[in-house]
Amino acid sequence: MINRCIQQILLLALAVFISFASEQVQAQTNKATDSGGAKPVKVFILAGQSNMEGKATVALLKYQMMQPETKDLFAHLHRNGELIERDDVHIKFLDRFGKLTAGFGSPNRIGPELQFGFSMGDRFEAPILLIKTAWGGKSLFRDFRPPSAGLPDAEVLNSQLVKERKRQPEKTLNEVKDSYGFYYREMINEVEETLANIGDFVPSYNAELGYEVAGFVWFQGWNDMMKPEFVAAYADNMAHFIRDVRNDLRRPSLPFVVGVLGVGGVQGQRTSEKKEEFKRTQVAVGAIEEFKGNVAIVHTDRLWDTEADAVFTKGWKENLEEWKRTGSDRPYHYLGSVKCYNRMGGAFADGLLEILDGKNEASNSVGELQNFLTKNLIAWCIVPFDAKNRGPAQRAQMVRELGLRRVAYDWREKHIPEFEQEIIEYKKNGLEYFAFWNWHDSMAPLIRKYQIKPQIWDMFRGKLPEGTEEEKTNFVVDQFLPKARNAKELGLKFGIYSHGGWAGKPENLVAVCECLRVKHGLSNVGIVYSFHHGHEDIADFSNVFATVQPFLFCLNLNGMADPKTVNRGTHLNQILPIGKGLHEAAMIREVIKAGYDGPIGVIGHRADVDARESLSANLDGLEALMIEMVPSPESGN
């Protein structure tokens, strides 16, 4: 069903690509014929950690640019085997500077700057200056911490002081405090000092015309991904970072690109939920209202070099000669692949150019809509909510016949004896046991026996005591704590379900999640947000979704009626097929604009209706909405 929509989207993407290619040809023509004379220097800042430094060797580039199978990728970088030095693009990377060519990554290596600079140089007639400030092994939480984020609380600082005194007994608390934001300050100082002496780095610089700081690219993340408390704070710190950079450089609308960590690619043995969770926190910043249209999100996992990965995986030492022809570093440095770093540089340039051309509206690429494919959707609320009362075998068959491949399992007491058979039937039918609603102790041995990894979904039950917001948060946290710990011991995610009331409000869900993650070290905790329990969120859904997105484990869709007509007690107008409500189309657009590419569920939730009919109505409605949102190129819309 949704597959037809994705095909139309791919056709649209092809049309956009052809259009963009035509624009590039026209831009080159304009550049060649324009006789307007000198232009202000366009300055682009590239910042981050080791992957912004760049880890692909120049030797590998020189080899691949001459090989039949790869020479077309790099033909523009050399003339007859001699690497080009751009007269119109200059680079300053800490203590190195000069005309742009290969070698401005780590020593004798390249990074994203090479293709980025070539793309910008080809696009603009103005001289270009790239200022690169990158240091390996640095975090946003500490090293690049922006001033407006402030210092972490005293507990974090004192804990760090204790650790550092084991190596340096003379370490002081003030020295620990000074380490926060040190590289942010170094970055700003480097940019300001370079701009103050810009004529030293751009020989054609005309002081009367000056310069324009035209864009900023941020590519970092590995060190923050390593610690749950760093991950939990990343989206907030990133927002502070963008605001502070714009303020310090006196460019309040400075176009910004955030390169999302993509080590390991989209799928395969190097991917993990830890990486996926971190990617979601990086993507979330693009959903913040003030950043829409001026911050571009670039997914680098889609640029992964699968050929280099294949050689590394089968044993780079055992296949050393083949490895020297494909990669030059470890997976966490994108395998030192020149293909990968060049792709990233081009993608970063495209992201900035879309903003500069007024074409960036925080919209997603075709790849991000894969979660709307029928095979990737999750069937939810189809066990007790089924007029036909199917058993495990019939239910699994029904789901498979609809083209779905994932199920979230909800149950009642009568279903407990069927738990094991349900797992068996899903395996027989090639279905993923995606989630298990509420905990039951009999599931632990079954999870171990059948090696399944369902998310555990649970909601707050009971009555909240009177008290402050903090006291209520702690009360809810205490209820979830043993279950979340149990899930972590089993290697499972624990999703707090948005089920209405105080504990279901987005800001409270997030507060509970942050407490469980940071205070109790439970990085496996997240949020399951369901449309049908969020009618009160409709009016401010864009901000609501931005609030929960960094923590989101699954998003369940529903047709959304006018909140005034919904009765939660009788469920009147609460459960509607997708496409039959007034608001779900706009909400789904916000989800797509926000860059959410995580799991999506479609629900049954009508005990008086055949679950097959409920799911089919939702699948048909979602398909129709998606086609309406992304019309085919032939439609002319």
Q: Is the pLDDT of residue 504 over 80?
A: yes
* Confidence (pLDDT) at 8: 53
Q: Is the pLDDT of residue 28 over 80?
A: no
Q: Concatenate the DSSP letters of all residues of 344-363 into one string.
A: HHHHHHHHHHHHHTT--SSP
Residue ranges and CATH numbers for the domains of the chain are: 37-146+181-358 (3.40.50.1110), 150-180 (no CATH), 369-630 (3.20.20.150)
Beta bridge partners of 128: 42, 89
**Taking the chain, what is the end-to-end CA distance rounded to the nearest angstrom?**
22
Residue burial 164-195, b: 16+ Cβ < 10 Å; e: rest? eeeeeeebeeeebeebbbebbebbbebbeebb
Cβ-Cβ contacts under 8 Å for 401 (sequence gap 6 or more): none
Cβ–Cβ contacts within 10 Å for residue 124, how many?
18
How does residue 50 score in pLDDT terms, banded at 50, 70 and 90? Answer: very high
Q: Is the pLDDT of residue 551 over 80?
A: yes
Q: Is the pLDDT of residue 570 over 60?
A: yes
The whole-number average pLDDT for the span 304-324 is 92
Average pLDDT over all residues of the chain = 89
Q: Is the pLDDT of residue 413 over 80?
A: yes
Amino acid at site 320: L
The whole-number average pLDDT for the span 246-251 is 94
Rg (CA), the chain: 26
Q: Is the pLDDT of residue 266 over 70?
A: yes
Amino acid at site 161: L
Q: Are 110 and 54 in contact (CB under 8 A)?
A: yes
pLDDT single digits (tens) 580-628: 999 999 999 999 888 888 899 999 999 999 999 999 999 999 988 887 7
| Pairing, β 56-57 against β 109-110 | antiparallel
Nearest 5 degrees, angle CA 398-CA 587-CA 581? Answer: 65
Amino acid at site 616: S
> Which residue bears the tokens 């590995």?
222
More confident of the two residues 259 and 523: 259
> Which residue bears the tokens 């909140």?
563
Measured over all CA atoms, what is the biggest interatomic distance in the chain, rounded to whole angstroms? 82
Cβ-Cβ contacts under 8 Å for 418 (sequence gap 6 or more): 391, 392
> Which residue bears the tokens 């000074």?
178
Cα separation of 423 and 420, whole Å? Answer: 5
The whole-number average pLDDT for the span 259-281 is 87
* Confidence (pLDDT) at 550: 87
Residue percentage of the chain with pLDDT more than 70:
91
Q: Is the pLDDT of residue 381 over 50?
A: yes
* Confidence (pLDDT) at 495: 95
pLDDT single digits (tens) 192-221: 999 999 999 999 999 999 999 999 999 999
* Confidence (pLDDT) at 147: 95
The whole-number average pLDDT for the span 524-539 is 93
Cα-based distances in Å from 172 to 158, 178, 350, 575: 10, 10, 45, 59
The whole-number average pLDDT for the span 400-411 is 94
Cβ–Cβ contacts within 10 Å for residue 472, how many?
18
Beta bridge partners of 302: none
pLDDT single digits (tens) 458-473: 999 888 888 999 999 9
Range in 194-208, 356-370, 426-440 with the lowest mean pLDDT: 356-370
How does residue 319 score in pLDDT terms, banded at 50, 70 and 90? Answer: very high
The whole-number average pLDDT for the span 493-497 is 95
* Confidence (pLDDT) at 288: 87
| Three-state SS at 433 | strand
Q: Is the pLDDT of residue 7 over 70?
A: no
Q: Is the pLDDT of residue 21 over 70?
A: no
Cβ-Cβ contacts under 8 Å for 86 (sequence gap 6 or more): 99, 100, 101, 117, 118, 121, 128
Beta bridge partners of 258: 218, 297
* Confidence (pLDDT) at 359: 61
Q: Are 585 and 591 in contact (CB under 8 A)?
A: no
How does residue 5 score in pLDDT terms, banded at 50, 70 and 90? Answer: low
- Could you tell me the sign of the dihedral formed by the alpha carbons of 498, 232, 479, 600, in that order? positive
How does residue 69 score in pLDDT terms, banded at 50, 70 and 90? Answer: confident
Residue percentage of the chain with pLDDT more than 90:
73
Q: Dig out the tokens for 311 from the structure.
A: 């050689």
How does residue 474 score in pLDDT terms, banded at 50, 70 and 90? Answer: very high
The whole-number average pLDDT for the span 512-519 is 90
pLDDT single digits (tens) 90-123: 999 999 999 999 999 999 999 999 999 999 999 9
Q: Is the pLDDT of residue 29 over 70?
A: no
How does residue 518 score in pLDDT terms, banded at 50, 70 and 90? Answer: confident
Cβ-Cβ contacts under 8 Å for 385 (sequence gap 6 or more): 410, 604, 605, 606, 607, 609, 611, 614
Closest CA to 504 of 561, 542, 464, 546: 464
Cα separation of 539 and 267, whole Å? Answer: 36
* Confidence (pLDDT) at 373: 86
* Confidence (pLDDT) at 39: 87
Nearest 5 degrees, angle CA 174-CA 177-CA 183? Answer: 125
Name the pTM for this structure: 0.57
Range in 157-161, 518-522, 565-569, 572-576 with the lowest mean pLDDT: 565-569
Nearest 5 degrees, angle CA 390-CA 394-CA 398? Answer: 105
How does residue 633 score in pLDDT terms, banded at 50, 70 and 90? Answer: very low
* Confidence (pLDDT) at 630: 57
* Confidence (pLDDT) at 19: 41
How is residue 287 annotated by DSSP?
Answer: G
Q: Dig out the tokens for 533 from the structure.
A: 């329990």
Q: Is the pLDDT of residue 12 over 80?
A: no
